[in-house]
Amino acid sequence: MTKLSVNINKIATLRNARGGETPSVTEAAVKIQEFGGQGITIHPRPDERHITRKDVYDLKPLVTTEFNIEGNPHQSFIDMVLEVKPEQVTLVPDADDAITSNAGWDTQKHLDYLTDIIAEFKKAGIRTSIFLDPLPELVEYAAKTGADRIELYTEAYAKNYLTNKEQAIKPYYDTAVEATKFGLGINAGHDLSLENLKYFSDTIPNLLEVSIGHALVSEALYMGLENTVQAYLKRLAKW
C-alpha cells in the first residue's frame, strides 16, 4: 500500500497568521498519526513563513511514523537535517521567495551538486528523495546522484486531470517505469486531492508514498481532520 504522509505546512500557516500556538502544529501531527496517517511532512523555508526551525525540533520526538523534511539544501538546511535526522529528506529546488514548490531538479545540470549533498545525508543514515518533473530522461541522472527515491512533482497532472486524465498521467507513468528500471523508489506530491488521487495511485507503478498538504487541510475544514485522513487512506487502498 502506498503510504500517506501529511504535509502540515498549512497548519503552521494558519497559526502564524494570528500568532500564538493555535492551531498547534505538534498536536496536529500527533492526531494525524492517531487517525492513520503514515508520515508527517514539513517544508521549513528560510523566512519561516509557515514551519519554523523550532517546529522542526519540536516535532522530531512526536513523529513516530515517518518524518520527511523537504527543502532547498542550503547549508543551514543541511545542518538542521543532519542534526534532526528524519527518516527522509526530500530535496526541492524552490527559490526562497516561492509561494510553493514550482519545479523539479534538472538532475543532469546539478548532478555533481546533488551527489555531494546526498552523500552527506546517506552517510548519516537518512533516506534521500529528489523532487523531479515527469521527465524520463532525467531519471538516469537522479539515480547517478545516489538518491534512494524521486518525488514526482504532480501539479501538471492535477491541473489536467479533469480535461484528459489518461494524457495527464502518461509522462508520470513513463517516468515511474524508468525510475523502477534504475532501482529508484517513487514518491509523489503537489496538488493531489481526494478527487484525483485514486487514479494516480492505481496507475503509477511502485508508488511508495504520497505527500499531501494543501488539499487535505482544506478538505478537513469541511469534513474534519480524522474523516479526511481516513478518506485519503481509502483512496490509496488496493482492494
Is residue 148 part of an annotated ligand binding site?
no
Cβ–Cβ < 8 Å for 25, 59 = yes
Is residue 50 part of an annotated ligand binding site?
yes
Is residue 213 part of an annotated ligand binding site?
yes
Q: Which residues are catalytic?
A: 43, 70, 190
Instruction: For residues 214 and 35, give the distance between their C-alpha atoms in angstroms, rounded to a whole number.
Output: 18
Query: Residue 18 burial (CB < 10 Å; 0-12/13-18/19+)?
Result: exposed
Is residue 47 part of an annotated ligand binding site?
no
User: Which of 152, 154, 132, 153 lies closest to 142 in space, CA to CA?
Assistant: 132
Is residue 214 part of an annotated ligand binding site?
yes
3-state SS, residue 153: strand
Max Cα-Cα span within the chain? 48
Is residue 235 part of an annotated ligand binding site?
no
Is residue 7 part of an annotated ligand binding site?
yes
Cα→Cα distances 6→14, 74, 118, Å: 16, 24, 24
Question: Residues forming the annotated binding site for 1-deoxy-D-xylulose 5-phosphate?
Answer: 45, 50, 100
Q: Annotated binding site, which residues?
A: 7, 18, 45, 50, 100, 191, 213-214
Which residues carry a binding-site annotation for 3-amino-2-oxopropyl phosphate? 7, 18, 191, 213-214
